[in-house]
Structure 1
Amino acid sequence: MNRRNFIYSSGLLTASAAMANAMAATAAAPTLPGGMGIQLYMVRNDVERDTPGTLKQLGKLGYKQLESYGSDKGIFWGMKNTEFKKLAADNGLKLVSTHHNPMGTAEFEQMAAQAAEIGMKYIICPWLGPQKSIETFKHFADDFNQRGAICKKHGLRYGYHPHDYPYKPVDGQLPINVLLANTDPALVYYQMDVYYTVTEGQDPYAYLKKYNGRFKLMHMRDVLKVRLPAGSKEESSCDLGEGIVNYPKLIRAGIAEGMHYFFVEGERYYKETPMQSAQKNAAYLKKMRLV
């Protein structure tokens, strides 16, 4: 990852030095639509080892929505779609979206049908990878439109989750802008990963406002005030409320611009387990009056 200095913006980042100021800033925070969500990749070792037990723990922590991914056991963790839906519901949870692995049209259509059958809302491409030509991203946009049409046919929506590379110039253009410009707004939506947007020096508020209604989902993790040195094996992320992002303000802006789903996601565990991190993030959202 490019670890150049952050671009600070008074509307985006906050030092939050005093707890009193932080509480005052969040007093008017909105309720998360549908409750707080979590991306299961965050607790992947737990859910792979004990899916029922992990969902039970997440439900007890107060999570309401789940986002799955293309695990070795599939997006339904070795169960039928209806079985996973019941397991989630028994713990107060609902599977609303999933990331998917690369797959052909027939396999994708089958997954879309299964997702629609249990009331899921989104299927999301999580990775394209850096490319040498901006034309490649235009071809990706065409593929997104086709998959978006398949999802729409089944009553779903298709989305894309940018990492860091779409915010790095290719042939003088930002791939994220090219993807947004070349995908049909009625077929393709986006999942903002706040961590990558901020660490790549971009302004999430500007993207939310300019592309009103396109960013429907958010991945939430915070950014360390002092980043790790270049070449570090860990990313410069931390639990919500421990970094520089004013999440209550950003969530308000997201909701105002049509964002519906908010998923906790974490990657950096040096003092805690992923489940402990999930617990800390849930506690933060509750304390900040977001749930």
Structure 2
Amino acid sequence: MNKRRKFLKLGAAFTAGSFLPLQFCSSPKSESETAVVEEAVKESVKEKLESFGIQLYSVKGDMAENAQEAIKKIAGYGYNQIEGFDGGKGIFWGMKNTDFKAFTEDLGLDFVASHANVFENTEKLAAEAGEIGMKYLIAPYVGPQESMEDWKKMADRFNKVGEICKSNGLRFAYHNHGYTFEEQEGQMPQDFLLENTDPELVDFELDIYWAVTAGADPEKYFEKYKNRFRLCHVKDREKGAPAGEHNASTVLGTGTIDYSKVLRTAKDNGMDYFIVEQEKFSGVTPMEAAEKNAAYLKALEI
């Protein structure tokens, strides 16, 4: 945060204080009163996201048809970051890594991360990603494991991939689905992975939609595991969707997740990258949804 923004936020806080009820203006007599004052000040200094991106899988059909044209459209909607995926042509979509970087950079897009099969050709993938200044390689799916011993082996694999990424100047992260929030042998796999991977080597990308779908509270995870979640998928959940229903994503702002609140907590606890993702489309094309989602995040105050 730059000095001007800090000054503006500080000024807003003092201004907010001048409008607080008189009982909050004297020295608080209890922790609960202190919490009320802090919450009132926090509410008065909301801000907009300076940067946000999109997971290109959200427009996977357009990417398969013509990746470069799809990315050009994305750039026109107001995104300034992209997160890639391997659509069969590699994460650089048939281009040399440096050429893909130049192409996206010319459009004003920062290619910050990509989902990829991080367990194959790891050294080559990490070297190419690091060469062009990518921040993350992300494991998008590992599937449910049969036992907690298998989750321990997975945590060890994550650490090894993390070492390779670190040696190439970038980070490794794991993106969850709902299965890591389903208790197994008396433990929660998501918590186990957080607690059995090296914070120096492994970060996490919380797919907020999947956490909510599984019945988990994203804000509690951000607070309990501060600075472990550095990226998130911002994906809304349809109103009226049955509990546990997997295929229920919708345009941001039309669903049930209070992103103003959730993303504020995320940012306060170390979140760096806010990535739109949508997989179900009702009444809109994927590109139309991408445009609406960008407009939502541009206007959102957290």
TM-score (norm 2): 0.82
Matched, 1:119 2:133: yes
Q: Is the Cα contact below 8 Å between 2:238 and 2:249 reproduced in 1? A: yes
Q: Deviations over 1:144-183 (max 9, x none)?
A: 0011011111111110001000001111211101111110
Q: Is the alpha carbon distance of 1:102 and 1:158 closer, same or farther for their aligned partners in structure 2, counting shifts above 3 Å?
A: closer
Q: State the distance in 1 between where 2:201 and 2:291 align.
A: 35
Aligned partner of 1:97 among 91, 113, 116? 113
Q: State the distance in 1 between where 2:266 and 2:47 align.
A: 11
Q: Name structure 1 gaps, 5 residues minimum.
A: 1-24
Matched, 1:145 2:120: no
Aligned to 2:85: 69
Q: Is the Cα contact below 8 Å between 1:192 and 1:219 reproduced in 2? A: yes
Give matches, 1:1-291, under 5 Å: 28-33=45-50, 35-101=51-117, 103-104=119-120, 107-228=121-242, 235-289=247-301
Q: State the distance in 1 between where 2:243 and 2:191 align.
A: 29
Deviation at 1:246, TM superposition (A): 1.1
Q: Name structure 2 gaps, 5 residues minimum.
A: 1-41
Deviation at 1:273, TM superposition (A): 0.8
The letter for the 2-side match of 1:284 is Y
Q: Which has the higher contact order (CA 8 A, sep 6+)?
A: 1
Q: Is the alpha carbon distance of 1:114 and 1:243 closer, same or farther for their aligned partners in structure 2, counting shifts above 3 Å?
A: same
Q: Is the Cα contact below 8 Å between 2:230 and 2:273 reproduced in 1? A: yes
Q: State the distance in 2 between where 1:50 and 1:249 align.
A: 37
Deviation at 1:272, TM superposition (A): 1.0
Aligned to 2:29: none
SS of aligned partner of 2:206: strand
Q: State the distance in 1 between where 2:218 and 2:138 align.
A: 19
TM-score (norm 1): 0.85
Q: Deviations over 1:214-246 (max 9, x none)?
A: 00001011112201588x7x7122111111111
Q: Is the Cα contact below 8 Å between 1:216 and 1:260 reproduced in 2? A: yes
Q: State the distance in 2 between where 1:121 and 1:66 align.
A: 11
Q: Is the alpha carbon distance of 1:102 and 1:281 closer, same or farther for their aligned partners in structure 2, counting shifts above 3 Å?
A: same
The letter for the 1-side match of 2:148 is I
Deviation at 1:40, TM superposition (A): 0.6
Between the aligned residues of both structures, percent identity stands at 44
| Aligned positions, number | 261
Q: Is the Cα contact below 8 Å between 2:48 and 2:299 reproduced in 1? A: no
Q: Deviations over 1:89-131 (max 9, x none)?
A: 1211111001112533xx1111101001111000111111112
The letter for the 2-side match of 1:138 is K
If you compute each CA radius of gyration, which structure gives the higher value, 1 or 2? 2
Q: State the distance in 1 between where 2:43 and 2:56 align.
A: 27
Q: Is the Cα contact below 8 Å between 1:30 and 1:252 reproduced in 2? A: no
Report which of the two has the higher share of helix.
2
